[in-house]
């Protein structure tokens, strides 16, 4: 599933849509549209709307439209917003035509991706979006905030994957951040010291910024809005490397399941 760096790269490519009008919309898969109730309403409300801004919130792509509407998209596992693609394929779930003849297709192989068109007063209907926590690259995400979220007995990896605490952090980058911070992913959150919380915050910011600059991580399906793959996979220390040698201490990496997520770590470097 695309995480914060991948979504940010998609958003960067969609900035070209700012100040353009939606001239035509066609829903090819009604299950992709969560809100409003019908795909006909989705098409009717969208047509003629102006895109004021495109931004990321957590793992969501948000089109800020005029008349206080937001088009909120979640790519899930295989979703992709492709700019300039007019040809409809068997994977095209929603097709858009913007002013100046610019086409954008929402393609999704596994059909888990979603779109919701909501007025500002209706955002509560998109619960995952409405309840998002702090953005990890913001000033609000600091050691004081982190310490305030570490009072539970939950594993620290579970804590930082909680989207109501940190918006956008996913399995790939959680493993990488904990490794660089030297923190075992199964440590209870309340056991972390102030110093460890500071280090973890710093590493989260560092890893996410580097991953954004590298275009995100591509293993199979992820591509940005221009159809380009990321290359952060070349910089991974632990994720996807179970059974291999640690790049720091040369001892074997271990893996386990934490909250149902495959987790790779170094038992020697992470305490």
> Known catalytic residue: 2?
yes
**Is the dihedral angle over the CA atoms 203, 208, 213, 214 positive or is it negative?**
positive
E strands, the chain, are 22-27, 33-35, 51-57, 60-65, 69-74, 79-83, 92-98, 102-108, 114-119, 254-258, 261-265
Catalytic annotation present for 261: yes
In this structure, are strands 33-35 and 114-119 parallel, antiparallel, or unpaired?
A: parallel
Active site residue 110: no
Catalytic residue among 3, 126, 176, 196: 3
Q: Which of 2, 5, 136, 185 is catalytic?
A: 2
Contact present, 64 and 118 (Cβ < 8 Å): no
Question: Of 57, 125, 210, 261, which one is the catalytic site residue?
Answer: 261
DSSP annotation string for 16-34: GGTT-BEEEEEES-GGGEE
- Best CA proximity match to 193, nearest among 154, 249, 143, 253: 143
Task: Classify 11 as helix, strand or coil.
Answer: helix
- Cα torsion 159, 161, 162, 166 to 10°: value is 100
Q: Please tell me which residue in 56, 59, 157, 223 is annotated as part of the active site.
A: 59
What is the rounded CA–CA span in Å between residue 144 and residue 120? 31
Per DSSP, the three-state class of 69 is: strand
CB 112 within 8 A of CB 78: yes
Indicate if 122 belongs to the active site.
Answer: no
Which residues are designated catalytic? 2-3, 59, 261
């Amino acid at each position: 599933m695309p995480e914060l760096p991948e979504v940010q790269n998609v958003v960067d490519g969609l900035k070209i849509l700012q100040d353009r009008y939606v001239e035509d919309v066609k829903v090819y898969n009604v299950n992709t549209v969560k809100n409003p109730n019908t795909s006909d309403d989705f098409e009717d409300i969208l047509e003629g709307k102006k895109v004021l801004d495109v931004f990321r919130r957590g793992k969501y792509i948000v089109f800020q439209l005029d008349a206080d509407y937001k088009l909120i998209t979640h790519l899930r596992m295989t979703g992709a917003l492709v700019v300039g693609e007019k040809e409809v394929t068997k994977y095209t779930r929603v097709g858009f035509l913007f002013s100046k003849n610019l086409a954008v297709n929402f393609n999704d192989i596994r059909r888990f991706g979603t779109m919701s068109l909501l007025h500002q007063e209706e955002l509560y209907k998109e619960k995952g979006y409405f309840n998002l926590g702090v953005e990890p690259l913001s000033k609000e995400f600091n050691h004081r905030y982190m310490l305030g979220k570490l009072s539970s007995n939950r594993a620290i990896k579970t804590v930082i994957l909680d989207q109501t605490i940190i918006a956008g952090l996913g399995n790939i980058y959680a493993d990488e951040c904990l490794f660089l911070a030297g923190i075992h992913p199964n440590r209870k959150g309340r056991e972390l010291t102030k110093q460890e919380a500071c280090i973890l915050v710093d590493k989260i910011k560092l890893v996410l910024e580097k991953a954004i600059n590298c275009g995100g991580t591509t293993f199979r399906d992820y591509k940005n809005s221009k159809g380009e793959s990321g290359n952060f996979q070349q910089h991974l220390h632990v994720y996807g490397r179970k059974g291999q040698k640690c790049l720091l201490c040369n001892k074997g990496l271990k893996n386990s399941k934490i909250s149902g997520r495959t987790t790779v770590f170094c038992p020697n470097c992470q305490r």
